[in-house]
Structure 1
Amino acid sequence: MQYRATVAAWFLLLCGAVYGQLQPTTPARYRRLPSLREQAAILDGWRDERLATLPALLTKYRIDAWLISQREYAEDTLWWSIKGATEYAPHRRTVLLFHKNTSSLAGQPNPLRWVDNTGAVWPELRRVLEAYDPHRIALNTDKYIAAGGGLHVGEYEALAEELGERWMERTVNEPLLAVEYVATRVPGQLAYYRDLQEITWALIEEAFSEKVISPGITTTEDVEWWYREKMLLLNVTTWNHPRVSVITPESFPGWSGTKDVIREGDLLHVDFGITAMGMNTDVQHMAYVLRTSQGETDAPQGLKEGLKRANRMQDIVLENMAAGKTGNEVLTESLTQMEVERITGQVYCHPIGDWGHAPGAVMGFTNLPDFVPVLGELRILPNTYYSIELYAYSFIAERNETLRFRVEENVYWNATTERWHFVRGRQERFHLINAHAGHTPSIVVQS
């Protein structure tokens, strides 16, 4: 027994060294983000760092020029990752030409930009192409990958008409340009992403407490709208409406929460993320409503074992997840290891960053548990962020039922260790809601 305990202790230490901090030891705090004016300068700096990588990226994919044409209200998907912080739409018609900073365009702005609603852009663009003479011109026309398919049909027709056969014959579809550009993070983002993660955790810790929930009165929808109102006070927004659920054997990951009155003994779940500083979080945590009327002071052991299974699944994914592998390779290896360890569940991990569901390799979908066409065949990129999203089945003896334990945490690629680390940590203990803790429950936003 002493030997097994020692091995277990070393295993936990190893996991902490490999994956970064696990369960945080202190409560999350609401972090104060820079003023909006300061944020704009920071965001533009990150944008410039990313744009500076484009000549090398074009060379990697054997592209001479990357042409983007869009109109107001019909933006190319890529626009949101290359615009200035104070730009909210591409005005009139906005045409961008990214280049490799060679030949006639050496030292010119990258991208070259035209904003026009008269048609004057077209002869100027043709003149630039004549001088530069690119042989492979990328257009965002991919039909499978959204980040590389943002060119609207009308704009494609306008390009074909104005550029003519000579230049259109040189156009190619290379979606990995957009995937890699949008997915790759720059070093300065991580410190602020940690703040966003802590804000996300702080929201969950407050929402899943007696400060917000009064069993028998508060509904799951009440908690969802508390999140929305509270985020406004923190000057952050969200990319998806918070989904709060009471977990039952029938509940399954979906696009909405449940509509339940929260009661003692309920196992609660939330799935949501915040948006700020051009980045997004995506987190799923669980809470238990103590049966304080019966003297309960902790969650039943069966529930704790279920959470441990889900944590072990996170470990398995991260053990198999290496840059260069395809998403489907990681998925297959993870499912194989789960079978060896007799863990039943489902994996559906995805990149995160500029978007909540960012471009890049995915590892499973809820409706595609074993193999994902196209997106699953992409290779995992380093210097990116991922959401490790999954659930484990576990039988709960105290309830005589099997439940899904649904967890999700964000990780980042550490170039020094060449491993993935949790941004803040992960949930290894339930948020406990004590109905008789002496607090005044409220579904009104607290200042």
Structure 2
Amino acid sequence: MTITPIEPSLRRQADVQNQWLAERLATLLPVLMERTGIDLWIVVAREYNEDPVIMTLLPAPAMNARRRTILIFARRDDGVVDRLTLDRYGYGDLYQQVWNPDTESQDDCLARIVGEYDPQRIGINTSATFAFADGISHHEYERLLAALGPLAARCVSAEPLVIGWLERRIPAELAVYAELVALGHRLIATAFSRAVITPGITTTDDVVWWLRQTMHEAGLRAWFQPTVSIQARGMPFNTPATRNRIWPGDLLHCDVGFCHLGLCTDQQQHAYVLARGETAPPPGLVTALAQANHLQDIVMAEMQVGRTGNQVLAAARERAISAGLQPSIYSHPLGFHGHAAGPTIGLWDRQDGVPGAGDYPLYDETVYAIELNNVAIVPEWDDQPVRIALEEDAVLTGGRMEWLHGRQTQLHVIE
């Protein structure tokens, strides 16, 4: 199976991403600034010390801020947002260049522009909860306040605006997102096949590096090192593995994610290597996967607009435990980043809720990695507990959760 990117041409990738950026700036930003009550948003960063959000605001092929870059977004009374840049080089038609270095300093220009708009609430990127919204450096924070003078008293955290900007997807992005998830499924299906795995010869490290190399050659950027692990009869998940060579009778697990066209995926699936004389996986493993699918259904049903991540977690765990499952839920947003901006729905070591990030509500047109696991007993393995850990990508759109490209409901089988 050939693994190819959605768009192999770097030039066309830049064109697509810039079209998306123009639409996002024109349609999303005014809505988000009104929703969060921020009249003027200042994003400032220096080259090689970029604010996490600034690269989602700069057009391709920009790869970093230039020297000291300042972006200003000012909401007018009619709802239109003016987009200004205070830098030496400009960013094409997306931003109006308003600083002339020959006539005033950058800080004086900033103070003048802000004073002309006279905003009541000035958003700056500081946050105790979300790193994405805490991107202004200490020096730039002090310099910004000094430049604003009396107007500095009007500064507020831009956290809700930053998170809203990062998490919200436009229709064009969602259309491509489904294709990216499908590409991830093809990647896993190939990795969990005889094309890559020869039982008794191939190791889990071999599969990991095949995944990494294949993504690299396909122009897909891995945002974390993939993992592949083994559970087997006599080698349970909760004890250190005694080998990494793949044998017949093994239950394999992978975790893999990549970014392409500025959007990231995150997926986990399982495969079974048939033992001698077997024509299908043991029924206990099939049942274990079905139970994990049931847990997915529960989590998806509880993910509703307006609920916080902690509310979703508590409701889903209560339902799952009542259904006789042994759940662990640690789902997260996806988008410009792998562990992206938005509500945290559990952590593997915080099943009682996550203060702060878990208190953020779910909004429409947002994407999530439904990441979780369930432990089940497998009779064919002497009642050994098996952990089925799944991760599939889904979108909250029109008030309901939908899989972007289906999910695993059958084990990959390696003969």
Deviation at 1:222, TM superposition (A): 0.8
Q: Choose which of 387, 391, 397 in structure 2 pairs with 1:404.
A: 387
- Where do residues 26-425 of structure 1 align in structure 2 (5 Å cutoff)? 30=4, 32-33=6-7, 35-52=9-26, 53-102=28-77, 110-116=82-88, 120-164=105-149, 166-247=150-231, 250-251=236-237, 260-291=244-275, 294-400=276-382, 401-415=384-398, 418-425=399-406
For residues 253 and 279 of structure 1, the distance between their equivalents in structure 2, rounded to whole angstroms, comes to: 35
In the alignment, is the contact (CA less than 8 A) between 2:236 and 2:385 conserved in 1? no
Q: TM-score with structure 1 length normalisation?
A: 0.85
CA distance in 1, matches of 2:62, 2:332: 28
> What TM-score, normalized by structure 2, do the two folds share?
0.91
Q: Where does the alignment leave 5 or more consecutive residues of structure 2 unmatched?
A: 90-100
SS at match of 1:50: helix
Report deviation, 1:28. 9.5
State the one-letter code of the partner of 1:148: A
Q: CA–CA distance in 2 between the matches of 1:284 and 1:162?
A: 49
Distance 1:34 1:191, change over 3 A: farther
SS in 2 for 1:58: helix
Change (3 A) 1:141 1:31: closer
Q: Answer whether contact 2:220 2:259 (CA < 8 A) is retained.
A: yes
| Structure 2 Cα separation of the partners of residues 283 and 133 of structure 1 | 47
Deviation at 1:313, TM superposition (A): 0.2
* Mapped contact 2:3–2:218 kept (Cα < 8 A): no
CA distance in 1, matches of 2:222, 2:82: 31
Contact 1:31/1:195 (CA < 8 Å) preserved in 2?
no
Bigger relative contact order (CA 8 A; separation at least 6): 1
Cα contact 1:283–1:410 (8 A) shared by 2: yes
Count of aligned residue pairs for this structure pair: 398
State whether residues 361 and 378 of structure 1, in contact with CA within 8 Å, keep that contact through their aligned partners in structure 2. Answer: yes
Residue 441 of structure 1: aligned partner:
none
How big is the shift at 1:54? 1.7
Contact 2:18–2:60 under 8 Å retained in 1: yes
Could you tell me how far 1:250 is from its partner in structure 2? 5.0
Aligned to 2:171, what secondary structure does the other structure show? coil
- Could you tell me whether the CA contact under 8 Å between 2:107 and 2:147 is conserved in 1? yes
| 8 Å Cα contact 1:220/1:258 also seen in 2 | no
* Secondary structure in structure 2 of the residue aligned to 1:205: helix
Check the 8 A contact 1:215/1:264 in 2, yes or no: yes
Partner of 1:188: helix, strand, or coil?
helix
- Provide structure 1 residue ranges, at least 5 long, that are not aligned to the other structure: 1-26, 435-447
Separation in 2, partners of 1:356, 1:229 = 19
- Call closer, same or farther: CA 1:42–1:110 in 2, change over 3 Å: farther
Checking the alignment, whether the CA contact within 8 Å between 2:167 and 2:335 is kept in structure 1 is yes
Letter in 1 for 2:386: L
Letter in 2 for 1:94: T
CA contact (8 A) 2:71 2:85 kept: yes
| Alignment RMSD | 2.2
Offset of 1:48 from its aligned partner?
A: 1.4
Distance in 2, Cα, partners of 1:388 & 1:28: 27
Q: Tell me which amino acid in the other structure corresponds to 2:405.
A: R
- Higher mean alpha-carbon deviation, 318-327 vs 45-54, is at 45-54
Deviation per residue, 1:341-365 (Å, 9 max, x gap): 1111201111101111111111100
User: What is the CA–CA distance in structure 2 between the aligned matches of 1:77 and 1:32, rounded to whole Å?
Assistant: 25
What does the per-residue CA deviation read over 1:80-103, in whole Å, with 9 as the maximum and x for residues that have no partner? Answer: 221112110001000011111349
* Cα distance in 2, alignment partners of residues 414 and 176 from structure 1: 20
1:2-13 pair list within 5 angstroms: none
| Runs of 4+, deviation exceeding 6 Å | none
Distance in 2, Cα, partners of 1:372 & 1:185: 24
TM superposition shift of 1:60: 1.7
Answer yes or no: is the 8 Å Cα contact 2:124–2:157 preserved in 1.
Answer: yes
Q: d(CA) in 1 for partners of 2:263 and 2:82?
A: 23
Q: After TM superposition, give the deviation of residue 120 of structure 1 in Å.
A: 2.0
Q: For residue 380 of structure 2, give the secondary structure of its aligned residue in structure 1.
A: coil
SS of corresponding position for 2:281? coil
Alpha-carbon distance, 1:174 to partner? 3.3
Cα distance in 2 between the residues matched to 1:413 and 1:141: 27
The AA in structure 2 aligned to 1:360 is: G
State percent identity of aligned pairs: 36
One-letter amino acid of the counterpart of residue 226, structure 1: W
